[in-house]
Amino acid sequence: MASSRGSRNGYYFFTLEKLPELKQQGLAVTNVANAIPYCSDAWALLNEEQKKKYAEMARRWKATNISKAFKYTEIFCLFVLNINHIIKSIGNLVQIIFIVVLETSFYFLNIFSHGVLPPHCNQRFLPCEIGCIKYSLKDGIIAEFHHFINPGEVPRGFRFHCQTAGDATHKIPITGFDTATASYSVVLHDLYEFIKPQRGNWPSVYCKSDDHFRVNWCLKYMAKETVNHLKLLNVEDLVVELYYKKLQKEPSKTWVCNTLDASMWDYSGNTRCEWHEKNDIVFCALATCKKIAYCISNSLANMYEIHLTASHLPLTEKNCKSTTNPKMIVLDAGRFQVRSIADLFNWGGVETMLYRKVTKLFLKIWNSSILSQKYNFTRLYVTLD
């Protein structure tokens, strides 16, 4: 007569109805299970017509709960069916990210000076050579820019200091150097023509962290009569970002710096400018930019499955297999951290148009899914200007 576990029959609902009456009689009943022994006699006195009332209550309860069970089962089945669709969509988004990473162009810049003047001098550097390249992982070195700069008047008392510093590195003469005919304004104008803004935004320009102060100072000094449009970033941070986008882990900064300081391409053909190549001088502003591209191509080729060409590495080295194994990269455990997926779309902290487009695509996929439509789940909205 009593209802079995998980089921409710007519006797259950009869006992439920009697529960308040039993409590008024002073019986210690707190639920149907406690009240069942006290209701058996009263239940036996009911005729079949009276019992039908409680049987109908049990039937309606079972019908309602079976419907709910089927509904939840259907939701679960639909969820399982949508998992493959969601996984495939996410996989497509990741593939889009990698394609954009491969096709994104970066600019590597360096500016040489006739030595370093003391801090008490208003002019810390005398720019004498500038080199810049446009590079992508997919195409390698796309274009290059190079100028010898007319340093102008050397601060009094520092001519010997500047010439000695130059002789120890790039060996560019301070005076009597006919090739250095470009003034600051001409160099900056030509550089801006080379690094053109994209949709009104100037692309980020990278240099080594050791050169950052000098290059940034020279850019501002040459633009003192105009405007400096370029944002200079450290190329080491770019390499870290490229590794993170593929491995979701950051390499050691020490390893990155050592990789970028490789000297194996110092004397490779088509690396230095014509003057430095002719005079067999290693220190060349253009060569430093190209060697950054070589190092990145060489270390990321296997990871990004890049087909190396003469634009990625010098002809004599392009057929050599990369010595960098992505599984053997020294990772900096102290730098591991959970990042948002938005970081995959950012370069130097600047949100790209890709992030906006892919976010809209993801929201469109979710809002049009079976689960969102059939069971009126909360739809996702976002305003992306």
Rounded alpha-carbon distances, angstroms, from residue 36 to 42, 49, 57, 79, 82? 11, 21, 17, 41, 47
Note whether 205 and 107 are within 8 A (CB).
yes
- Calpha distance 87→187 (Å, rounded): 50
Domain total for the chain? 2
- Calpha distance 162→165 (Å, rounded): 5
Residue 301 pLDDT > 60: yes
- Calpha distance 82→372 (Å, rounded): 11
Q: What is the mean pLDDT of the chain?
A: 79
Which residue, 271, 287, 303, sits at the end of a domain? 303
38 and 75 both lie in a single domain:
yes
In what helix (H) or strand (E) does residue 98 lie, and over which residues does it extend? helix 48-103
Residue 348 pLDDT > 50: no
Q: Which of 369, 355, 368 is nearest to 93 (CA)?
A: 355
Residue 328, domain member (yes or no): no
What is the pLDDT averaged over residues 229-256?
90
Note whether 14 and 54 are within 8 A (CB).
yes
Given pLDDT bands bounded at 50, 70 and 90, which one contains residue 87?
A: low
122 and 45 both lie in a single domain:
no
Residue 375, domain member (yes or no): no
Residue 269 pLDDT > 60: yes
Structure pTM?
Answer: 0.63
pLDDT value of position 161: 87
Note whether 134 and 142 are within 8 A (CB).
yes
What is the pLDDT averaged over residues 133-158?
91
- Calpha distance 3→6 (Å, rounded): 8
180 and 243 both lie in a single domain:
yes
Domain, as residue range, for 50: 10-79
Residue 361, domain member (yes or no): no
What is the pLDDT averaged over residues 361-380?
48
pLDDT value of position 85: 66
